[in-house]
A and B are shown apart, each in its own frame.
Chain A
Amino acid sequence: MRTVEQTTQEVLDLAATHFHVAADSLNADDDFFRKLGINSLQALELLSRLENHFGIELPDYEVQGVSDFRTLASRIQSRL
């Protein structure tokens, strides 16, 4: 079982790969909309990528209002 820290790091790494930015430029408390310059549709793409990676289903309504990596990771953690 991953720790929440590990999950958070994996979320950051995946986001960096998916949106082609340097992994060390992202922090857990960053707002991903702002930091990655993405819109709501691109955020949905990231969710699909994360679901595949973690092998879980993350309903859209479960992440409604979430905009930072740390909270996103905690929602993923609760479904692992």
Chain B
Amino acid sequence: MLDLSTYQSIGAALKDAVEVFAGEVCLIEADRERENHRLTYREFRDRAMPIAKTLQDAGFSEGDRAAIIMTNQSKWLIAAYAIFYSGGVLVPLDFKLTADEQWQLLQHSKARVLITEYPIWRQLSAAAGPAGVTRLRTVFVTEAPADADLAGGQRWETTATGGAGQPDFRPRTRTDVATIVYSSGTGGRPKGCMMTHDNYLEQCIALTSLYPFATGMRYLSILPTNHAIDFMVGFFGPFICGAAVVHLRTLRPEYVHEAFVKYKITYVSLVPLVLKNLQKGLQARFDELPRRKRKVFDALVAVNKALTKRRPRLWLSRRLLKEVHAAFGGELAAIIVGGAFSEPETLQFFYDLGIPVANGYGLTEAGTAITVNDLKPFRADTVGKPLPGMEVRIVNADAQGIGEVTVRSKTVMSGYLNEPELTAETIVGGWLLTGDLGRFDGAGHLQLLGRKKNMIVTEEGKNIYPEDVESIFESLPVKEFGVFAANYVWPQRSMVGEQLILVIRLESGQSFTPGLRQEITVRNNRLLNYKRVRGIVLADEDFPRTASMKIKRNVLAEKLAKLDRTHAVMEL
């Protein structure tokens, strides 16, 4: 592993990594049963250099911004390497957003370069409304069919093989911005977190101290790479340790299962939804065992549980529960779960099988992770202890010790792009206010117990802010409306099954008709499925508003909280 304390930037560390580990395998890309390619660090660099040269020849220089909108694949990492090598700022955008949302963020980030896949570019070009107002000058399009109209884009594959001369390495310093990562705000107010090189270098040192990578290890990249977790543990972390990253172009469960065995995966990151699904599948298989076999199996699980109570003993678990571990390839050291809150019973299920789950807590604004389970011992009921270098405090705690989680560390972003006021509200005196509620137990583990902020996180790891979905209901024929997180109105000590609700105030004399419900349903269905509101609440008085006519959300929420949730919410 490289000593990151001696580096100034992601680009400088990656540049050394590809030299130090030149002969090691760094990337494997597979599509179903086919392996597309297997690259060593040297071959990876050789593919990235022409991209960097073309970028630089097009005038891309230090501090310029380049966006990537791609599914998980090797070109994502090659493109990112070329951007960092050239001193650029990476803007990783979510490929699951709609084309309009992607244009909005391209515009907000002022990206000069876009690197994307043909199916995504086809949709972006078709929805090119805001295209004229972006600063995009160069677009690389990957995997385009031979006769495709690239609408002004350049074919990646031509660029990757051509270009004379070598690009210059453009150094950056730790305080320079490395990435702009959007934590929310596709509707109204984009929240672009400006993450510095220092943020990443320090986060990587902290994470790898608990979950180290090494040459020969393999990470299966399933969470989108634009997500902070996959960027760290599916790119930067493994690269600076000489490990390999495996990408699958098809995420059907049958091919994912195969990949564990075929590629002897060491680590994988999953969102709670996928982990739960995996649990369901395994449980069904255990339930199908003949009675006698099942008895033996249960006894082995009980022995494993007793022997791993204090700490994981991978070699022992792999022997005791050989078939289970063989189904995961026999080399799996841990499943990293993140992006949303996980149910303790799911985490315990895997741990009892001898598969540690690195459960943690983080938010984009604080780097990748704030706390992680250190497995000493494994605790399914908490999100672990603060990582080295993280100061975590609970403020405004109630009698039970529950209050807002705040964080101070070198991994906290420098601020939101173009939003000094929002930044000042979020980082106060050097402490990041997370908006999440929690408390520490006697052993120093953090327990999360709800949210102070008006937002939800889905089981698929999507952060949804109510304000971002409100625009879809604009000009709805009612007096006024607002979208809220149900848990913000009726606080629950849980972060599972969160939902959005639409609160409407009808005009005087207006009634809630089937026609109005239909209108709401039609508009709601235009939203991506995970952004949809799940219920309607009729307000019995006008919304409280500020002098500038903004809804006083906290005041309205307090009023609504007096209603009985079961009766007040009409399911949509």
Q: Say yes or no: is B129 at the interface (Cβ < 8 Å to chain A).
A: no
Within 8 A of B (CB), among A27-71: 31, 33-34, 39-41, 44-45, 47-48, 57, 59-62, 64-65, 67
Closest CB in chain B relative to A3 CB, distance in Å: 23
Is the pair B529, A60 in contact by a Cβ cutoff of 8 Å?
no
In the complex the two chains form, what is the Cα distance from A34 to B572 in whole Å?
Answer: 11
Is the pair A47, B529 in contact by a Cβ cutoff of 8 Å?
no
In the complex the two chains form, what is the Cα distance from A65 to B69 in whole Å?
Answer: 13
From known contacts A31-B529, A39-B273, A40-B460, infer whether A61 and B117 are also in contact, taking CB-CB under 8 Å: yes
Within 8 A of A (CB), among B417-464: 459-460
* Number of A-B residue pairs with CB-CB distance less than 8 Å in the complex they form: 49
In the complex, residue of chain B having the shortest beta-carbon distance to the beta carbon of A44: B252
From known contacts A31-B529, A34-B532, A41-B277, infer whether A64 and B71 are also in contact, taking CB-CB under 8 Å: yes
Is the pair B250, A34 in contact by a Cβ cutoff of 8 Å?
no
In the complex the two chains form, what is the Cα distance from A61 to B249 in whole Å?
Answer: 8
B contact residues around A44 at 8 Å (CB): 251-253
B contact residues around A41 at 8 Å (CB): 253, 273-274, 277
Is the pair A65, B123 in contact by a Cβ cutoff of 8 Å?
yes
Q: Tell me the dominant secondary structure on chain A's binding face.
A: helix
Residue pairs across A and B with Cβ atoms less than 8 A apart, 10 shown, are A31-B529, A39-B459, A44-B253, A48-B254, A60-B249, A61-B120, A61-B249, A64-B96, A64-B119, A67-B529
Q: How large is the interface on A (under 10, 10 to 19, 20 to 34, 35 or more residues)?
A: 10 to 19
A contact residues around B32 at 8 Å (CB): 57
From known contacts A41-B277, A65-B98, infer whether A59 and B250 are also in contact, taking CB-CB under 8 Å: yes
Q: Say yes or no: is B95 at the interface (Cβ < 8 Å to chain A).
A: yes
Closest CB in chain A relative to B527 CB, distance in Å: 10
B contact residues around A60 at 8 Å (CB): 71, 249-252
Q: How large is the interface on B (under 10, 10 to 19, 20 to 34, 35 or more residues)?
A: 20 to 34
The listed residue (B31, B249, B274, B529) touching A33 by CB distance below 8 A is B529
A contact residues around B95 at 8 Å (CB): 64
Closest CB in chain A relative to B393 CB, distance in Å: 36
B contact residues around A65 at 8 Å (CB): 96, 98-99, 123
A59-B31, A64-B96 known; 16 other A-B pairs, CB under 8 Å?
A: A31-B525, A33-B529, A39-B273, A39-B459, A41-B253, A41-B273, A44-B252, A45-B253, A48-B252, A48-B254, A59-B250, A60-B249, A60-B252, A61-B117, A64-B120, A65-B99
B contact residues around A67 at 8 Å (CB): 528-529
